Chain A
Amino acid sequence: MTGRHKRPRLAVWKFASCDGCQLSLLDCEDEILALAEAVDIAYFPEATRSEISGHYDISLVEGSITTAHDAVRIQEVRRRSTKLIVIGACATSGGIQALRNFSDVKEYTRIVYARPDYIETLATSTPISDHVRVDFELRGCPINKHQLVEVLGAFLVGRRPATPAHSVCVECKLKGNACVMVAHDAPCLGPVTHAGCGALCPSYNRGCYGCFGPKETPNAPALSAKLSELGMDQRALARLYSTFNANADAFRQESERHDQDGQG
């Protein structure tokens, strides 16, 4: 490092999530030293309000908003951040825990916890962008570590990150994969899913599960028509769209369209 500039301060914040996306950061073995040289990292796993101090040039936010406390805390994080980058399906769409948005959360807590009265939670799990302005959304469940390095590298020099919003199919073709849906009748969400994983599942002859959420201009009803031809019934279709990005608009609308019995 040349020491030309004062190192930017970077904070990592956790909301409701599994920590998988933060782990992607630690998983950047090759880049972690370069990152530590490029930025001054302040790490706040589940920080309580009293621990928040100072101002951050870049904040990475993982997780969704599921409690009243977190809804307040994210406002504070926003106030203290010049750039706020949200990472992962929880932060960008509400995550798998947004399945609660489709049901009665009280019923869930009664089933899961011995003392449901100890549980204080909101009825919904919502993306960070529902609460504060975000400067960039990095998709994925979990995020792709190469894309994380790309986004940080881009913000550090002030250029646009290369995280295209087109279909997974484009990545599939760049890799030379034969389409598993055409060749093997494997149901694949690739045509409606945001690129970023490098077509991981189709590269192993499986259909895409939609981990990166809806792509730009998705046409889920047209894909569902094809999937029904492949033998998926209404219930299976409703479930297919109700995973890590269940609350993302295009996936939510499509699962609701096929959800006849209200069970997803």
Chain B
Amino acid sequence: MAEQRVITAEGLQQLIAILAGEGRRVIAPTVRDDVIIYDDIESIDDLPLGVTDVQGPGSYRLVDAPEAEYFGFVVGPHAWKKFLHAPQIELWRAQREGGGVNIHAADIYAERAAFIGVRACELAAIAIQDRVLTGGQHVDAHYKMRRDHALLIAVNCSKAGGSCFCASMETGPAATGGFDLALTELKTAQDHLFLVDVGSSAGQALMDQISSRAATAQEHNAAQAQVEHTTESMGRSMPAGVNTPQLMADNLLHPRWQEVATRCLSCANCTMVCPTCFCTTVDDVSDLAGERYARERRWDSCFTMDFSYLHGGGVRNSVASRYRQWMTHKLSTWVEQFGSSGCVGCGRCITWCPVGIDITEEVRAIAGVEAV
């Protein structure tokens, strides 16, 4: 890896100004209604300085942080897929014109964007969605356009959240690739610095415009120690030594599916917040005159009945079968389909499940019973 550079908070502000000056939408974590979400920012002052999140199954709280860091928290309810794989878009519209029907495909358009504060698990999730949505024969042109026009400025996590388990999924907490720049925030009593790793020529071009200096060996070690500390303080883990894909495949009739169905609301929150879930459905809409039609696409979830609707009805009628579809897809069939796990260990599905169902606990329950 190339030499690490060091910038100050002013340097970060410079970076934001340069990105905005290039005509980019600058999107970063910011506080809204006591939750850290991803939205447009204008300056460094819009970042969540000095606050941190306390997360657990079905629970999220924002509190004052012990250190006044800009990135001293973990991932929240939003994932970058909100911008790359938009929740709702129009695919095409049709209109009756002069005795015929004219069909107009929606513009494939993307604003140039820069995402600041992308975590390691999120880089992994974006790589997975790249594979799913652009890797095969059928490329999602909307996703690709947005992805091609987005710069990724990563941040190495300085703490782990109560729902995080990226270390056991080997996706974090250190950003190892797939970014344009990666920052490590180092806050001490004397200094507030960001170590910068450059990951692309676009990232290098940005760094060339910002005043920076080379990192000292001490700073380099401090950044490494911080990431190691984060690794050791993960709130959760996938059980070690379990072949999860095989475990799922071998336990399709395990009683735990029925048990989890008594707790699961089939509300779909877990799939909506998951940064890798990609499923969509389409609605055809028409106006009252029957003159104009449009086909709209929106996020869907394997927890809805319509998702498995075939002629005459849904196939996955029981909640047990829908929960099983979600978990076996994430952890097992995804591997067959796309060559990796569908879970990056971000913990969102645990925190944002209203009743706190924990995918790591469900794996343990199934693995545990099997071991007996």
Residues of A within 8 A of B (CB): 1-2, 31, 34-35, 37-38, 149-150, 152-154, 156-157, 159, 162, 164-167, 169-170, 173-179, 181-184, 188, 190-192, 205, 216-219, 221-223, 225-226
Apart from A164-B306, A166-B268, A176-B82, 16 more pairs, CB < 8 Å: A166-B305, A166-B306, A167-B265, A173-B87, A174-B88, A176-B78, A178-B33, A178-B77, A179-B354, A181-B58, A182-B352, A183-B77, A191-B269, A217-B317, A223-B265, A226-B356
Tell which of B44-52, B64-72, B232-240, B296-304 binds the partner: B296-304
**Chain B residues near A182 (CB, 8 Å)?**
58-60, 77, 351-352, 354
- In chain B, positions 311-364 with a C-beta closer than 8 Å to chain A are 317, 319, 351-352, 354-356
Is B354 a contact partner of A188 (Cβ separation < 8 A)?
Answer: yes
B299 cross-chain contacts in A, Cβ below 8 A: 170, 173-174
- Closest-CB distance, B275 to chain A (whole angstroms): 13
Bound: A149/B272 CA distance, A: 27
Task: Name 30 interchain pairs, CB-CB below 8 A, sorted by A.
Answer: A34-B287, A35-B288, A149-B288, A154-B286, A156-B286, A156-B288, A162-B283, A162-B285, A164-B306, A165-B306, A166-B303, A167-B266, A170-B272, A170-B301, A174-B272, A176-B78, A178-B32, A178-B33, A178-B35, A178-B77, A179-B77, A181-B58, A182-B351, A183-B35, A191-B269, A218-B265, A219-B262, A219-B265, A219-B266, A226-B354
B310 on the interface (CB 8 Å rule)?
no
The listed residue (B96, B285, B351, B355) touching A225 by CB distance below 8 A is B355
> Given A162, A169, A205, which contacts B267 in the complex, CB threshold below 8 Å?
A169
Residues of A within 8 A of B262 (CB): 219, 221-222
Give CA–CA (A167, B306) in the complex, Å. Answer: 12
User: Complex formed: what's the CA distance from A191 to B266 in Å?
Assistant: 8
Instruction: Kindly list chain B residues whose C-beta atoms are within 8 Å of the C-beta of A179.
Output: 77, 269, 352, 354
Cα–Cα distance between A164 and B317 once the two chains are bound (Å): 16
Q: Give CA–CA (A182, B270) in the complex, Å.
A: 12
Chain B residues engaging chain A, CB cutoff 8 angstroms: 32-35, 37, 58-61, 76-78, 82, 87-88, 96, 262-269, 272-273, 283-290, 298-299, 301, 303-306, 317, 319, 351-352, 354-356
Return the chain A residue nearest B56 by Cβ: A182
Contacts of A178 in B (CB 8 A): 32-33, 35, 37, 60, 76-77
CB distance A153 to B306 under 8 Å? no
Residues B288 and A170 in contact, CB atoms below 8 Å apart: no
By the criterion CB–CB under 8 Å, are B59 and A34 in contact? no
Q: How far is the CA of A16 from the CA of B290 in the complex (A)?
A: 33
How far in angstroms is the closest Cβ of chain B from A135? 18
In the complex, chain A residues whose CB is within 8 Å of the CB of B283: 162
B33: which A residues are within 8 A, CB to CB?
Answer: 178, 183-184, 205
Chain A residues whose C-beta falls within 8 Å of the C-beta of B267 in the assembled complex: 167, 169-170, 190-191
Selected contact of B304 from candidates A150, A153, A166, A191, CB within 8 Å: A166
| Residues on the A chain within 8 Å of B303, using CB | 166
Known: A157-B290, A174-B88. A217 touches B319 (CB 8 A): yes
Q: Once the chains bind, are A174 and B87 in contact (CB under 8 Å)?
A: yes
The majority secondary structure among interface residues of chain A is helix
- In the complex with contacts A164-B304, A176-B78, A222-B290 CB distance below 8 A: no
**Cross-chain contact A217 with B305 (CB below 8 angstroms):** yes
Q: A173-B272, A179-B354 are in contact. Are A219 and B285 (CB under 8 A)?
A: no
**Are B272 and A191 neighbours in the complex by a CB distance under 8 Å?**
no
Is there contact, CB below 8 Å, between B268 and A176? no
Q: Would you give the shortest CB distance from B318 to chain A, in whole angstroms?
A: 8
Q: Are B60 and A216 in contact (CB under 8 A)?
A: no
Min CB distance B192 to A, Å, is 28
Distance in angstroms from A84 CB to nearest chain B CB is 19
Task: List the B residue with the shortest CB-CB distance to A32.
Answer: B288
- Pairwise interchain contact A153-B288, C-beta atoms closer than 8 A: yes
**Closest B residue, CB atoms, query A223:** B265
**Minimum C-beta distance from B340 to chain A (A):** 24
A169 to B273, CA, bound (A): 11
Q: Is there an interface contact between A173 and B288, defined as CB atoms closer than 8 Å?
A: no
Instruction: Name the distance in Å between A138's Cβ and chain B's nearest Cβ.
Output: 15
Q: Determine if A219 and B264 form an interchain contact, defined as CB atoms under 8 angstroms apart.
A: yes
Residues of the A chain whose Cβ atoms lie less than 8 Å from the Cβ of B284: 159, 162
**Complex: A221 Cα to B76 Cα, angstroms:** 28
Q: Which residue of B lies closest to A221 (CB)?
A: B262
B114 nearest CB across to chain A (Å): 19
List the A side residues contacting B265 at CB < 8 Å. 167, 191-192, 218-219, 222-223
Other-chain residue from B76, B77, B82, B286 in contact with A153 (beta carbon distance below 8 A): B286
**Which residues of the partner chain B approach A166 to less than 8 Å between Cβ atoms?**
268, 301, 303-306
Q: How far is the CA of A32 from the CA of B265 in the complex (A)?
A: 38
Which residues on the B side are within 8 Å of A176 (C-beta)?
A: 37, 78, 82, 87
| Minimum CB–CB distance for A110 against chain B, Å | 41
> Nearest Cβ distance between residue B52 and chain A, in whole angstroms?
14
Report the nearest A residue to B301, measured CB to CB: A170
Whether the pair B304, A170 counts as a contact (CB closer than 8 A) is yes
